[in-house]
Amino acid sequence: MNAIADVRYLSTPRFAQLETRFDRALGIYWAWMDPKPQHNFNPALLADIAGYLDSIENSAGTMNDDRGESGEIRYAVIASKAPGVYNLGGDLALFKAAIQRRDRAALVRYGRDCVDILYRWWHNCHQPITTISLVQGDALGGGFECALSTSVLVAEEDARMGFPEILFNLFPGMGAYSFLSRKVGRRITEELVTSGRMYSARELYDLGVVDVITPNGTGQAAVESYVRKHSRSGNGRRGIESVAREMNPLTHEELMRVVELWADAALKLSERDLRMMDRIVRAQQRRAGDDAVVLESAVSNVVPIAVGAGD
């Protein structure tokens, strides 16, 4: 992790798999994910995001822009640089290797790194800011969980989100159930995490999962418009967010208990389940322009099997 103790940032830090920029006029601290070699949450990307969150928590509420002019951080936005992909989720190749080694500790360690980040997002980095996810393209598994962990989820019309884990007989273990159930209730949560299908931004908006929907190519402008619209009442809105979290508290311990259950379930996967995981791993390894096609094909071909197995 990029642990940063007792440091006050004067300007945005630089990372290998994360591009950051501070918009002083609007108070937006942007972060665009740019993971390599695949569009997933590899350990290096997790470390960079942790460093980005450290920079917020240790900034004393201010940041310097590219011109060296200081301003107040009021919003933190997580987005993606990859066309058509927000994030394809967990590092499935890492999962499979750990499962084949029967290495439960490695699975739990990876899960802890994920929920450490998402717990901080959920609590707005314990700062008087609003966190926003901007989804342009596909957000699957852990990518969807990341988007759900922020206060506001903005999505372009062609964005698609879903949890493919059920297709290889597992479940999303880094916060999906916790975040969704607090936002839309148990029934919709269980539909989303057990269907194995990809949902359009419009479907998720109608279900109350997506907060702002915007035409393709206008995501950044929509975030900026949201900030302008609510800037005069920012203090009040952040107070409402605090009340919502007080009424529906989420602890780090809850997230870690789910990670433990997820790791135990992962170690029970069969060879057939791991072969299905392999198909999605291969999709993650293709270039961004092909990922959606391959994943959609995998989902379409396996849904009947997954549904039948659960009857």
**Per-residue DSSP letters for 60-102?**
TTEEE-TTS-EEE--EEEEEESSTTEEE--B-HHHHHHHHHHT
3-class DSSP assignment, residue 158? coil
- pLDDT (0 to 100) of residue 306: 33
pLDDT of residue 104: 98
Is there a contact between 46 and 113 (Cβ–Cβ < 8 Å)?
Answer: yes
Buried b (16+ CB within 10 A) or exposed e, 209-219: bbbbbbeeeeb
Both tokens of 12, joined, read: 């945005």
How high is the pLDDT of residue 239?
A: 84
Q: Which of 162, 51, 44 is nearest to 117 (CA)?
A: 51
CB within 8 Å of 87: residues ≥ 6 apart: 33, 35, 39, 40, 41, 80, 139, 140, 142, 143, 146
pLDDT of residue 65: 87
Amino acid at the residue 172:
P
Place of tokens 């979290």: 245
pLDDT at 8: 41
Q: Please report the pLDDT score of residue 284 as a whole number.
A: 63
User: Consecutive sets of 10 residues in the chain, 311 residues long: mean pLDDT of each?
Assistant: 38 87 96 93 97 93 88 96 94 94 98 98 94 97 97 97 96 97 96 96 98 98 96 83 86 98 98 91 60 45 35 28
Count of beta carbons in the 10 Å neighbourhood of residue 273: 17
pLDDT of residue 77: 98
pLDDT at residue 286, as a whole number = 66
- In angstroms, the CA 12 to CA 59 distance is 10
pTM score of the predicted model: 0.88
User: How many angstroms separate the Cα of 249 from the Cα of each of 134, 259, 306?
Assistant: 24, 18, 33
CA distance 41 to 274: 19
134, 251 contact by CB (below 8 A): no
Question: Per the structure block, which two tokens stand in for 291?
Answer: 């990922």
Residue 211: phi and psi, rounded to 5, are -90, -35
Q: What is the pLDDT of residue 209?
A: 98
In the chain, the domains with their CATH numbers are 18-218+239-304 (3.90.226.10)
Helices (H), 132-218: 142-148, 176-184, 186-194, 201-207
